[in-house]
Structure 1
């Protein structure tokens, strides 16, 4: 029988089973971003085959999970990145409830059970304000309209641009977790999505414009390839021993 979770290296790792009609073979993936193991089966594939694949690849799975980032909860005393810099969560019940960033400390008060939610909402608002401003600035340089900028918590991409050819302007969305990355990395993502206002593809012309808007585009891609997965573990609770 296919397990719903595995204990690997002291972690309880969820196992997600998916089926795809077009798939012909069983596939195994350990996602450092989602923090789960995924078994993909053909539409009529037996779960026993998936379970056997898990058993036969146990050593490989252990090696993959060992490289996963560790969770950093929104809890007192933990250090989270903001703009790529370490920031201590300084919670005292008597502090003001609205978070305030002071001297590498995020000072916040109020009831402890509500702490994580308030920090996340504050980070999302900070991300949206920053990304909205910078997106519209670069769009103006390109003489293009932006109808809406939004933030979400996607795991498949850091940004997206839709409707670039619409008269009212494009809708550009980002991961709010970019506020955790250095500002220059965040701006590079903005330049990338803004370049899609001109080129709705990844052609040589697109990449040329992207480099023109941001000479550090390649460096930012490498930074995200190396550190991006860890951003998705910020705000996750630590599993009990």
Structure 2
């Protein structure tokens, strides 16, 4: 069996991107690093002084909507609906277990001085959890599906900075934590929960109703 090159190892594929994002985020904290968080805030305030939106509270869920739409269109995914639901729950639990303790331990003040829970960005972590799950489920279909999810997630991070709620370093760290949480969830998921072959569970979205459809074939 041919030995994998170092960059092909799972440890590199799963942890490189999160490590780079979190590491770079830490390196540009305050006035430190290339194009620091302070520099970013100054440019944002100069270019978008009156920017305000609550869209970032909702955009972070868009990748889940993309997943539902693709399944409704019959696109094959890595796991069935039940296992994806479990992976979503598991990923968000892992992300929360990292984000909220760090917020309390670090105690960084937000740019708008509203509290001391700035680092890391929870909204960005949530968005990248959703995007990373979308990528994992459809990466064998097309890489562009994952790219579209990450673009949406990145827009959430940008909105958090434009809204003066987070520093650049908070957003980068949140993105890394979100991706890492999904990778850990998938690595530890045993896929033991399978629906009976005669039982089908799928999302339903139409003009009259939204919900979950359950079908059993006799």
Give the TM-score normalised by the residue count of structure 1: 0.26
- Greater relative contact order (Cα < 8 A, sep 6+): 2
Structure with more helix by fraction: 2
- More strand by proportion, 1 or 2? 1
